[in-house]
Amino acid sequence: MTAPVSHTYLNTRAAILADRLLNEQDLSDLADQSLEHLGRDFGVTDLLEEKKSNAAINRAVERALISTLMHELSVLLRPLKGAARDVLVHWIRKFELYNLKALIRGKLNQLTYEELRENLYDLPALISLPHQELLRAENTAELLRQLEKSHYADIARQARRVYQEKNEPFSLDATIDQRYYAGLLKRARATGPEDLKPLMKLVGTLVDQQNLLWLLRYRFGYGLSPSGTYYLLVPFGHQLSRELLKKLVNMNSFQDVIEALPASLRERIGETDHIMDVEEAMSDETCQKSRYLLRHSDSGLTRALAFLVLREIDLKRIYAIIQGKVLKLNDNLIKQGVGLHTLAEGGTS
């Protein structure tokens, strides 16, 4: 339950932080700036002046943007405890799961910590894992067994079981992703009545986005069976219910799945057989739902999570803009890459 004081704090902070979110014109203006200007804004001027490699600049920018998100999370967490705190902390753990996957790949390829370190996110102790200790594990199964003693126990337990049964990286990665979203759903369900309904709408939207992409990728990209695909989904969603997911995994083609979606999703996605189009459309759906809940929800916790979801999307777009500048891409091409098609063509937002 979100206590009244915490609820008021979250509503106030979410409203203040929401002013940092970017609209299309903001993104277009960023894309029009020089790399040097962006470097000053995001603290990588020294790297630019030292003419460091593109990879080094990109890593520094990525870390600066993640640090921004972590700071904003810490502001939102201040008054929280119990189930409400667990929801926000679990959401941000996705970044440490990127590290975990890198560590597992390193273990499988017998890489040292020094070889991996540059590709790991530097995260706060609240969610960070002991990377060097995990890499010293005898094998991947032992690494996951050690992880069962951490906050990631529910993810690690299932991942180790799958790895021991199948002994291949794909199922392991897919299981980690699935257990992460199942864990977010579990924590959302544990919140109080004042948060539960709007929060489940937001979490359900996030799960819908992942489930549809996983379903299309696993079923038609990797050729998994209907049952094998369904096993790797989260059997819940805001618009994609358990019953609908069971129906969708048994469809015979990509287009059949799209045509069987609820009307609002089908119209948003349109006619396509490209998963990138679906990914962009589902991201737009998540943005729209998150913006609505950020503006209108009575639940401070839901508004806080909606802000974090939108802020992460913004920061990814900023990162893509800077990457484009580092690679000396045309400004219009950069704008198209972050979804600013109309502005890139000279129209209005």
Residue 220 CB partners (closer than 8 Å, separation 6+)? 253, 254
- What is the rounded radius of gyration, in angstroms, for the C-alpha atoms of the chain? 21
Ordered by start, the domain boundaries in the chain are 4-58+192-344
Nearest Cα to Cα of residue 302 among 316, 292, 311: 292
Q: How far apart (Å, rounded) are the C-alpha atoms in residues 316 and 94? A: 14
Encode burial over 12-21: b for 16+ CB neighbours within 10 A, e otherwise.
ebbeebbeeb
Selected residue with higher pLDDT from 296 and 117: 296
Give the residue-averaged pLDDT of 158-184. 92
The one-letter code for the residue type at 25 is: Q
Average pLDDT over the chain, rounded to an integer: 90
Q: How far apart (Å, rounded) are the C-alpha atoms in residues 197 and 189? A: 9
Which one-letter DSSP state was computed for residue 118? Answer: G
The pLDDT, as a whole number, for residue 161 is 92
Query: How sure is the predictor about 348, in pLDDT bands with cuts at 50, 70 and 90?
Result: very low
In the structure encoding, which two tokens stand for residue 229, read together?
A: 């695909």
Per-residue model confidence as pLDDT tens digits over 321-331: 999 998 899 98
Question: Residues 182, 234: contact at Cβ < 8 Å?
Answer: yes
Put residue 150 in one of left, alpha, beta given phi > 0 → left and psi -120 to 50 → alpha: beta
Most confident of 94-103, 121-130, 149-158, 306-315: 306-315
Query: How sure is the predictor about 290, in pLDDT bands with cuts at 50, 70 and 90?
Result: very high
Nearest Cα to Cα of residue 240 among 306, 194, 302, 181: 181
Which one-letter DSSP state was computed for residue 151? Answer: T
Give the residue-averaged pLDDT of 191-209. 97
Q: How far apart (Å, rounded) are the C-alpha atoms in residues 103 and 94? A: 14
The three-state secondary structure class of 261 is coil
The pLDDT, as a whole number, for residue 111 is 85
Query: How sure is the predictor about 211, in pLDDT bands with cuts at 50, 70 and 90?
Result: very high
Question: Residues 245, 260: contact at Cβ < 8 Å?
Answer: no
